[in-house]
Structure formats: structure tokens, C-alpha cells
Structure 1
Amino acid sequence: MSTPPAQVDKGHSEGARATGPAGPRGRGGKSPADKVETLAWLRRISGDLATVTTKRLEDSLPWYAEMPPGRRSAVGLVAQAGITSFIQWYDDPASTPWIAADIFAAAPRELLRSVSLTQTLQLIRVTVEVTEERLVGKGEDLREAILLYSREVAFAAADVYARAAEARGLWDARLEALVVDSILTGEADEELPSRIAALGWHGHGEVCVLVGTTPPQFDVDHLRRTARKLGVDVLIGVQGSRLVLVIGRAQLPGRTAEDPGPELPFLDIGRQLESGFGPGYLVLGPPVPALVDASSSARASLAGFAVARAWRGAPRPVEADDLLPERALAGDPLAKQTLVERIYRPLQAHSSDLVTTLWSYLDNGRSLEATARELFVHPNTVRYRLKRVSEVIGWDATGPREALILQTALILGSIGTSDAARRRAAIPRHGR
């Protein structure tokens, strides 16, 4: 006795429902025949989807419409690759779990550099919206598939940009270390300006170098944020226990070139950055006109850092020029030259009386009366000449620390003068 057709259909339907997704039915309860038909339909409309998506991108994303034709074409290829990849993933999601990452293989490197992660997510959103609109009425299983796949694409995009950012960060760190090392060693070449530009240096005008110790827990991002708030840009170099900052003035946030606002002295900037360094001495080199000239500031700050312990009362930070006596005693030729050129020669060129008075004042323990007796002048004359000394060179001989600096300059200047006189005397005179 044969079974009625209606009973056969009913039994088949109940068996299909019983087996569920693991049985004859495919993804989301769709039978294999229905899934094959859906896949064929998706392949037929994939070209239309790519065309509509490109049109929607032009209409809804202003930055996309402004892109050069070559880059717009590359974005279109990425969108088309995403649609094709979805069809493949929908056909067999288990066999290619990471097929979403292949979408970005169609993007040239320059596209990944010119399109930000935010813009990429906007591209994904528009593509998903267009696809969802076209799939309306084709079943909830297909809609769930596109939502799940869009999530995979978003994570794949984040992974691509995260790896690119990590690689860029490592490259920047190596380049920054190379630039700082070139500044410290003074071995700058014609490639230094291009390397500085590649780092995105925003500094303009004066630059100085700050040297201290590396803290146990070094937070480079906090140091950069603090520098930006102070209106400066920094290059950071970590050399073992030594931390080096190359500081350059930058445009303050919210300020224009016509209204730059007040600029903090570098010493005040160093005080604000002091918390980013470890314990120990902190030495600030003298300002120089531009970053390419920073090697002279670096030499001064490094020399000062090496002898800072010789000044018991050294502030933090201390200017390298305030350590000129210690640097000169340690054999720093730059310190010797600075002392002679900034103190001895200006005084000598202005008046020999100023040099004589300063010598006598320092030799007599900074006593006005003893100096006046030695020079056979009134004490007020000594006061007047010391005031003129301060006006000419900027240092006040009445302070103990500045007195040490001035006396060292006088000693070095007199040695240099004696050497020059001996050299002139050794030159043979003809015609006698």
C-alpha cells in the first residue's frame, strides 16, 4: 500500500525541521537548493552592488569625492573585493574564517597611508548599508550573514591599521633615535633636514637640548603631551640611563602666526618637563637659532651634565652656562672659549679699568674698601665700575657663584693673552 503524496511531503518537511542546520538544510535553516539559488543571485548582482556602492560613496562622503581618480578607483576595487569576499564567505564560512582580511590585499600601500581608519569604517558602513537595502526580503539568515561579515571586516580593518601604526611607530622611533644621535655627536649630514621633516617636526625658531636621567618608568607619551601644552615640539633620545630632549618652539594650539602669544623661556619649559626625568641633575643647553645647529647646545648640556655634581647647590634644571667654571676645569674647550669671548674680551675691549677693578675686587675677597685702597680710588668708584661690569657682560661680580665664573674667565683670558704675546714675540722680525 503506497503512502499518499501529502503524507510524504509532510514527513519530509518534519524530517528537515528535525535535522536543523547540521542536516540537509544549510546556513540559517536554508535548504541546499535555496542556498545555491541565493548564491547564484548574489553573484549576478555583485557588479550592480559595486556600482551602487561607488555612487553612494560619492554622494555621502565628501572626502571620497575629492580624492584623485586613481585613489577613487582603488577604493572601488576594495569595495568590490569586499562584496566578492562576502559571497565566498557565505558559500563556506568554515573553510575561510579569515577571508575578510583579503579585502585589503586589493588596496595599494599609498591608499592605506592616505585613508584613515575612520574613513575606512565609513566605507564599510556605506557598503553594508547598500548591501542590506538590496537584500531586503531575502530572509533573516542572509541579513544575519551580512551583519556578521561586516563585523569581521571591521575587525580586519582595525588589525590592518594597528599593524601599520605599529610598524610606523617602530620606524619613527628608530629614525628619531638616529636624528638625536646625529645631533649629540655633531655628525650632521645633508640628510638630516629630510629626516627631521619625515618625523613631522613642528618646531620653528630657537632650539635647545635638555639632558637628565631616564626614570625607571618612562612615559614618553606623557612627556610629549606636556611639551605640546607648553607650545614646544620635542625629539626624545634614550641612551641607557641618560635621557636627552631636543626642544624646539612650536605653534601654540589655538594661536595664529599673527598672534603667537607669549613664549616661555626655555628654563621655565625645562622646569615644567622636569617631572618626566629621573632623579639626579638636569642640564639645559644654551638656545641656538635652528634644529640643524642643535649640536652646539647638545655639547654644552652634555659637558654640564658630566660635571654638575661639582656644584653642590646646582638647581634643577641648571643652565649649562652656569656650569662654565666646572666645565672649563674639566677641559671643555667650548666652556673656555665661551668664558673668554663673553666675559674677558668684552671687558678688555670696553675699558682696561674694568678688568683691573674686577681683578682687584675678586682678589681682595669682594671687599669694596680693600679694592679702593689698592686702586687709590673712592669706594663709590669701585661700585660704579662693578655696575658697569654687570652692564657690559650681564654677570654680577657681587654674587658668590657669579664671582667664581668671572674669576675663571679672567684667569683663562690672561693665559690666552700671555700665550698670544709670547707667540708674537717669537715671530722673527726682518729688516733689522
Structure 2
Amino acid sequence: MSAWMSALRPSQPAASDDLDPVSLPETVARARAVLGDEPTAWAIQRSKQICDTYEASARADPTITVDGLDRVACEAALLTVLVNLRTGRADAPAPPEGFESVRRAVRQGARIETILRVVWFSHTTVQMALLEVLSREVPAERLADELRAVSEGLFEFVDGLVRELATAYDQERAAWHGRLAALRRQTMEHIVEHGTAREGSEQLLGIRLRGDHLAAVIRSVDPAPPTGWDGSVTRYVAAVSATIEAVNSLVLDQPDGSTVIWSLSAAPRDPVSAVTDRVPHPPGSIVAFGPVGRDVAGLQSSLLGARQAALVGGQHQSEGAWTYDDVGLQAVLLADPEAAGRYVRHVLKGLTDGDAKSAMLRETLWAYLRHGRSRLAAAEELHIAPNTVAYRVRQADERLERPALDDPTPMVVALSLARDFPALLG
């Protein structure tokens, strides 16, 4: 059936690069051994023309993408199908260049639909070219049989190729996403540990490292997240992006939750407050924000701050949003819970009992000191009279072994920890 193949010759004059093969040497060598030099040169030239035509179509039609286009794979496939037609082997394996093309396409984010569109475009173009040669070279009495044989051979090859490439794509995508996630986590940990970024980090993470960043840690309160929790986190990340006008965002899944990084076009005024005030946190979740930071060193600071704020949120064991600006000092102390408890009990010695009156005195003293010793401000917060504030502060001071008002900073820290984490009182 293949005598007509001797009529396959490259068009003249041909540019030198039109006839330079790009597929594997063994693929080209096998084609020359089976087909001859002229048909092999025709296939090499034709594959370049197919790619040029497809690229031209993509420039004219924005719905067409060239992400899945690969001249190496196109050339190897055309050489292989011609060899199959010559030898009559319908079960010959797909060329290895096709699988390498799939691997590259997955890393570039090309969709399988795009890759298969290129395959079918190439198939249609080659089929039309071969049918033209057949119509010219094959006698009329044999033409119908040759046309049918070539059409069936082409379809069988392409059908098998599509199935193999689709399977390879799914396998490679699953493997690559696993590797990509691991590489991204390693890249982020390098930034956290060293405050620097390795070469290629921006491309790997998919975010720019210059400019302002905001990091957050999102965890489920329950070890077994509620149904739909992943979807609610995705919607939350999108809502935050819209609120702070983020350029892009990155979500990194961790064993105990997710780390999110937003890249900002320009740092808005107090973006963390804008988020906590306007975007409800996902139900059943702990959301902890670091401070906004600039460039790689600032991203490191934001990531560390988010982790420390998450430490405080986790101690509460209830859903809510925490910010590093609000709980950063608590986070430092809670990094060593035993030392934090010892510090609280030392500073508040005499006022650590678990009864209601002791708790009331601690709450009043905390409000009084936090408002700069203003009885009026503390009274407004606690909804009591200013004289009652003064009376309770005096009672608390009498109970404490160390004066409450001489050095208020340690007292505010200890009262704040005791208020949020009563277990530290012993």
C-alpha cells in the first residue's frame, strides 16, 4: 500500500532549518531506514509548517493557545505514523517525544484539552496532505482502497496516541502537583529560616517577591474539618484578595492547615483591620494574620508573625481571627507555656485564685492599666461607676505581693495572659 510514499518530497526551495530534524536521533534514523531520505525530509518540513500554521491561527484567534504546541512532538509523531503506514504496524508505541512534551506542558500549566487540540489539528492537516498525494499518485482503480487504508491507519494511530497522552497527562499532573507543592513548601521554609529567596523562587511560587505581602495561617478548630471547610477557605481567600486588592495569592496546604500569602499592589492602610472588620472568617476556623511586610525579608516577618498569632489562636481552642499586632507579645510568652505560666503566677501572686471575686479584680485592674490608669475609661468599658473601679483597683493592689502600679507593663502582660488563658494561673 505504501509505494506512493516515494512521492513525498520536501518543497523547493526549502530553508535550511526547514529540513533540520528536532526529534530524537533514533526517531529520525528509524524513519530514514524505513521511509528513505526524501519522505523523512518531507515529514520534517511538514511538521514545521503545521506548527507555523497553528501559531498563525493562535495569533489571529485569541481562543486558541499555543501552550500545548511542541514541534519536537509533532515531528516525531508524523515520522512515527508514516513508519507505521509503511510497515503496517498499527500497534507501534507512541514516540517518547510525545510523553516528554506532556511533561513540559503540565509544568507550564497547559490543559489537556489544548494538547489534544494540537494533536487533532496536526492529524487533520497531515491527512489532507496525504490524501492529496494519494489522489495524484495512486491509480484510480486502487485509490478507494488506499484512501480507506490510510485514513484508518491515521485514525488508529491518533486515537491510540490521544489515549496514551491523556493517561500520561493525568499521571504527570498528579505527580507534578505533589512535587510542586513540596517544592513550594521547601521554598517557603527557606524564606522563613533565612529571610532570603533562592533563584527561581518567584516562578516556583507563582507570586512576586518584591513589594508588600500579607501572610495568614488558617486552621480548623476541629482535627477533622467540617464538611465544606476547604471550599469555605477558598472563598475566604478570594474575598480577602478582593478586599485588600491583592495582585495575586498563594495557598500552601500544610499538615495542620493552610498558609496563605497575598501580594499587594500597594500596601493599603491597615489591611489586616480591613479584613477582620469586613470579611467573616470561615466557620470552624482559626485565622491568624502576620504584619504586612515588604520584599523577601518582610514576607519572612509576615509568615513568622502569622505562625505566632496562630499559636495564640490555637490555645483558645475556639474559632476566630487573631492578628500579630494584637497578640504578638502573648505569642512570644506562649512559645514556652510552662515559662509563661510561671511568669503569670509570679507577677500575680496573691491574685491567682479561681474564684469569681479574684477574676473580677483582675479584669478591673487590667482595664484600668490598659486605659492608662483612667478610671473613667475603665468604667465605661466595664459598665460600672468610676468609684467602683478605684475601689476594686485598691483591693487588687492590697492582695498582690508586688505593687500593681509601680511597674505596670509586667502586670498588663500577666493580666492579659491570665484573662485569655486562665489555665496559666495554676
What TM bracket, shorter-length normalisation?
0.5 to 0.7
TM-score by length of 2: 0.54
| SS at structure 2 position matched to 1:97 | coil
Range with greater deviation from structure 2 (194-203 or 163-172) = 194-203
Give the superposition deviation at 1:289.
1.8
**Residue of structure 2 equivalent to 1:54:** 48
Q: Which residue, out of 195, 204, 227, partners 2:237?
A: 227
Give the superposition deviation at 1:167.
3.2
Give the superposition deviation at 1:85.
0.6
The aligned amino acid for 1:37 is A
Tell me how far apart the structure 1 counterparts of residues 277 and 377 of structure 2 sit (CA, whole Å). 36
**Residue of structure 2 equivalent to 1:37:** 3
Give the superposition deviation at 1:91.
4.3
Give the superposition deviation at 1:132.
1.6
Q: Could you report, residue by residue, the CA deviation over 1:81-110 in whole angstroms, capped at 9, with x for unpaired residues?
A: 22221123234565x735224342686976
Q: Could you report, residue by residue, the CA deviation over 1:362-419 in whole angstroms, capped at 9, with x for unpaired residues?
A: 8xx85313467999xxxxxxxxxxxxxxxxxxxxxxxxxxxxxx99x93516899xxx
Tell me how far apart the structure 1 counterparts of residues 264 and 92 of structure 2 sit (CA, whole Å). 45
Give the superposition deviation at 1:174.
0.5
**Residue of structure 1 equivalent to 2:286:** 282
**Residue of structure 2 equivalent to 1:80:** 75
| SS at structure 2 position matched to 1:83 | helix
Q: Percent identity?
A: 12
Q: Which residue, out of 207, 210, 214, partners 1:201?
A: 207
Cα 1:88–1:201 change in 2 (3 A) is: same
The aligned amino acid for 1:100 is A
| SS at structure 2 position matched to 1:169 | helix
Flag the structure with larger Rg.
1
Q: Please list every run of 5 or more consecutive structure 2 residues that lacks an aligned counterpart in the other structure.
A: 9-34, 61-65, 136-145, 344-368, 394-403, 415-426
The aligned amino acid for 1:271 is P
Contact 1:303 1:327 in 2 (8 A): yes
Matched, 1:188 2:194: yes
Output aligned runs, 1:22-421, within 5 Å. Answer: 35=1, 37=3, 43=35, 45-62=39-56, 75-92=70-87, 97=91, 99-104=93-98, 116=110, 120-136=115-131, 137=135, 138-179=146-187, 181=189, 186-191=192-197, 194-195=200-201, 197-201=203-207, 205-213=212-220, 215=225, 223-224=233-234, 227-228=237-238, 230-231=240-241, 233-239=249-255, 242-249=256-263, 265-267=274-276, 271-272=280-281, 274-275=282-283, 279=284, 282-290=286-294, 291-309=299-317, 316-319=320-323, 330=334, 355-357=372-374, 367-370=385-388, 410-412=408-410
Contact 1:283 1:317 in 2 (8 A): yes
Q: Could you report, residue by residue, the CA deviation over 1:137-194 in whole angstroms, capped at 9, with x for unpaired residues?
A: 44212112112222223333334443443332112211233345557xx523433685
Give the superposition deviation at 1:38.
5.0
Q: Please list every run of 5 or more consecutive structure 1 residues that lacks an aligned counterpart in the other structure.
A: 1-34, 252-256, 337-351, 376-405, 417-432
Contact 1:210 1:285 in 2 (8 A): yes
Cα 1:229–1:92 change in 2 (3 A) is: farther
| SS at structure 2 position matched to 1:190 | coil
Give the superposition deviation at 1:54.
2.3
Tell me how far apart the structure 2 counterparts of residues 113 and 326 of structure 1 sit (CA, whole Å). 43
Give the superposition deviation at 1:49.
4.2
Contact 2:251 2:259 in 1 (8 A): yes
Cα 1:127–1:359 change in 2 (3 A) is: same
Give the superposition deviation at 1:361.
5.4
Range with greater deviation from structure 2 (112-121 or 288-297) = 112-121
Tell me how far apart the structure 2 counterparts of residues 217 and 196 of structure 1 sit (CA, whole Å). 33
**Residue of structure 2 equivalent to 1:398:** none
Cα 1:202–1:161 change in 2 (3 A) is: farther
CA RMSD of aligned residues (A): 5.2
Contact 2:291 2:325 in 1 (8 A): no
Larger RCO, structure (CA 8 Å, separation 6 or more)? 2
| SS at structure 2 position matched to 1:305 | helix
Cα 1:415–1:191 change in 2 (3 A) is: closer
Q: Could you report, residue by residue, the CA deviation over 1:243-294 in whole angstroms, capped at 9, with x for unpaired residues?
A: 132342457xxxxx8x9xx99823257635x14xxx4x61423432242222
Q: Could you report, residue by residue, the CA deviation over 1:96-125 in whole angstroms, capped at 9, with x for unpaired residues?
A: 735224342686976885694555445433
TM-score by length of 1: 0.53
Tell me how far apart the structure 1 counterparts of residues 304 and 101 of structure 2 sit (CA, whole Å). 46
**Residue of structure 2 equivalent to 1:427:** none
Cα 1:103–1:194 change in 2 (3 A) is: closer
Cα 1:410–1:210 change in 2 (3 A) is: farther
Contact 1:286 1:319 in 2 (8 A): yes
Q: Could you report, residue by residue, the CA deviation over 1:179-219 in whole angstroms, capped at 9, with x for unpaired residues?
A: 45557xx5234336853541102585241323422526687
